Amino acid sequence: MIVVTGGAGFVGSNIVKELNSRGVTNIVVVDDMTDGSKFRNLVNCKVADYIDATTFREAIRTKAFHHRPRVIFHYGENSSNNGSNGKKMLEANFTYSKELFHWCKDQGVRFIYASSAVVYGNNTTFAEGDFQEAPLNVYGYSKMLFDQYVVKNTDIRSPQVVGLRLFSVYGPGEQYQSSIPSTVFQFYEKRKSFKAIELFGEYAGVEAGQQKRDFVHVQDVARLNCWFLDHPEISGIYNVGTGVASSFHDVATEVASNFGNPEGYIKFISFPAELKGRYPSYACADISKLRRAGSVLRFRGIEEGIRNYLEWLESPEGLLR
């Protein structure tokens, strides 16, 4: 049996689908279905059971969860990068994760969890290691804190523990996540509504629209999670991205080209005052540690990834979202 927390969410549901593609169906999905629309992410999935997130956490906390899964993929987090309630953020992303981590350690269960590239903040170096983290908000702090806790409390006797620092993930299933959807999805919705795609203007020496991110397709993220499932001997914290940064202008052009005349539907707005000093102009994953671990997984580039995503958005499955 495999448990996927946040299994009805963005990355979690794609992990379920990747497992299904491998013939694995003995999957327990853990999630909070208060937003009932998330069920659509699981309509085409085969799972063995569904457990409410609160019920699952209480069972873990009280040692009343009597199953011993092969692995827990932990994607049941508060993913709101703009959240300001530090107490709730740390409760969801640190305390809950600690409880699950220790339960897995005690039971000998493998643990693969979502971290985030936001731990790097405004840094210009994006390699896993000491003193590289400088988060700009409490979400990033909650992720950094748990990564550090895992490192301090894992040893050679521990079962596999893997933290995946996700860069800018986009793709099928993101429309139901609690945080702001990817710029790829936002740009698509703008053009679909015949509205202009708005990009940030020049700020701090960065030209208009040239802020850059490492955009990684969610299906590649799911495949990498399953690569670690295939390699129980490998633990650690790893960046997850393509290793190539693309500008928001490049992404906007790629999305708008799907509708024709891309330049006519891109405009620049003044850089928001509330983001000054709190908005990184550049982020790109250093994936050399992942490659040294033995992963040769190919991450699709932004052109291929956006093309695949737009094809899905305009497919019968995507249109029913």
Kindly report, residue by residue over 254-287, the tens digit of the pLDDT.
Answer: 999 888 766 678 999 999 999 988 889 999 999 9
Superfamily of domain 2-168+217-241+287-299: NAD(P)-binding Rossmann-like Domain (3.40.50.720)
Q: What is the DSSP string of 113-153?
A: EEEEGGGGTT-S---SSTT----SSHHHHHHHHHHHHHHHT
Could you identify the residue written with the tokens 């990184």?
280
Tokens of 51: 């457990």
The residue among 295, 284, 299 whose CA lies nearest residue 236 is 295
Count how many Cα atoms sit within 13 Å of the Cα of residue 301 in the half-sphere of its side chain.
Answer: 7
Domain ranges of the chain: 2-168+217-241+287-299
Q: What is the DSSP string of 278-307?
A: TS-SB-----HHHHHTT--PPPPPHHHHHH
pLDDT for the residue numbered 174: 92
Spell out the residues 6+ positions from residue 147 whose beta carbon is closer than 8 angstroms to its own: 115, 119, 133, 163, 165, 237
- How many whole angstroms separate alpha carbon 49 and alpha carbon 56? 12
Read off the pLDDT band of 316 (50, 70, 90): confident
Kindly report, residue by residue over 67-119, the tens digit of the pLDDT.
Answer: 999 999 999 987 666 667 899 999 999 999 999 999 999 999 999 999 999 99
Q: What is the DSSP string of 22-75?
A: TT---EEEEE-TTSGGGGGGGTT---SEEEEHHHHHHHHHTT------SEEEE-
- How many whole angstroms separate alpha carbon 111 and alpha carbon 72? 5
